[in-house]
Amino acid sequence: TDPADPKALGSLGGLGNTRQLVVRDGIAYVTSREDGVFIVEVANPTTPALLCHYDSIEVATGVAVSGAVLFIACRLHGVELVDVSDPRRPLHLSTVRTGEAQSVDVRNGYAYVGVWGTSELVVVDVRNPRAPEITARCPLDGFGDGVAVRGSHVFVATGHHSRERKTWYPKEGDPCYGQRHGLEVFDQSDP
């Protein structure tokens, strides 16, 4: 209630190596890398309660929810789509091989995926969650990491160094050192 003086209301331990989370309708979906996804009731923030653990197909990093579908960025295996209409019994729907997915956001039937290794924003038509289809691959100059869709724009946080680097870890003084640690913005009015 006072942004200058936040107060802890509740906590829940034992969720492993937590990474990202999204909250919808009193339910928190928490990715936990090698521990998959934890689904937590948070309607009463003073007493969060574990509803279930979902063992994702690979290391769970990013997460988004759209309707009754949970989208899990699963690193090298892409994005896993899971039916969470009953959050106590999540059911695997499909997987789309985007490349090394770090994060995902979903709007209007399209998933936007930050792909690390190939430095891309990958757009996926997920209107049929049992048969997702890649519709676009947009090159980034840094590694695709965080993704957020707002209005007609997709914002992608890029990490590490420019794709023009000669080594994975350039040293200070190299022209690629520190380049492309930033934000790239795309118009997504036509996914």
pLDDT of residue 170: 64
- pLDDT band for position 117 (50/70/90)? confident
Pairwise CA distance, residues 189 & 191, whole Å: 6
Calculate mean pLDDT across residues 104-108.
97
pLDDT of residue 164: 61
Residue pair 57/67 in contact by the 8 Å Cβ criterion: no
Calculate mean pLDDT across residues 92-110.
96
Q: Which residue shows structure tokens 């009731």?
A: 41
pLDDT of residue 136: 97
Q: What is the pTM of this model?
A: 0.89
pLDDT of residue 75: 86
Residue pair 177/133 in contact by the 8 Å Cβ criterion: no
Pairwise CA distance, residues 57 & 62, whole Å: 13
Least trusted range by pLDDT, from 69-78, 89-98, 168-177: 168-177
Strands (E), 19-68: 21-24, 27-31, 37-41, 49-54, 63-66
123: Cβ–Cβ under 8 A, 6 or more apart, which residues? 110, 111, 112, 113, 134, 135, 136, 137, 138, 188, 191
Virtual torsion, Cα 164, 157, 104, 47, nearest 10 deg: 140
Two tokens, residue 32: 């936990």
pLDDT tens digits, residue range 124-161? 999 999 999 999 999 998 888 899 999 999 999 987 65
Pairing relationship of beta strands 120-125 and 143-150 according to DSSP bridges: unpaired
The three-point CA angle 167-169-172 to 5° equals 105
Q: Which residue shows structure tokens 């003084």?
A: 173
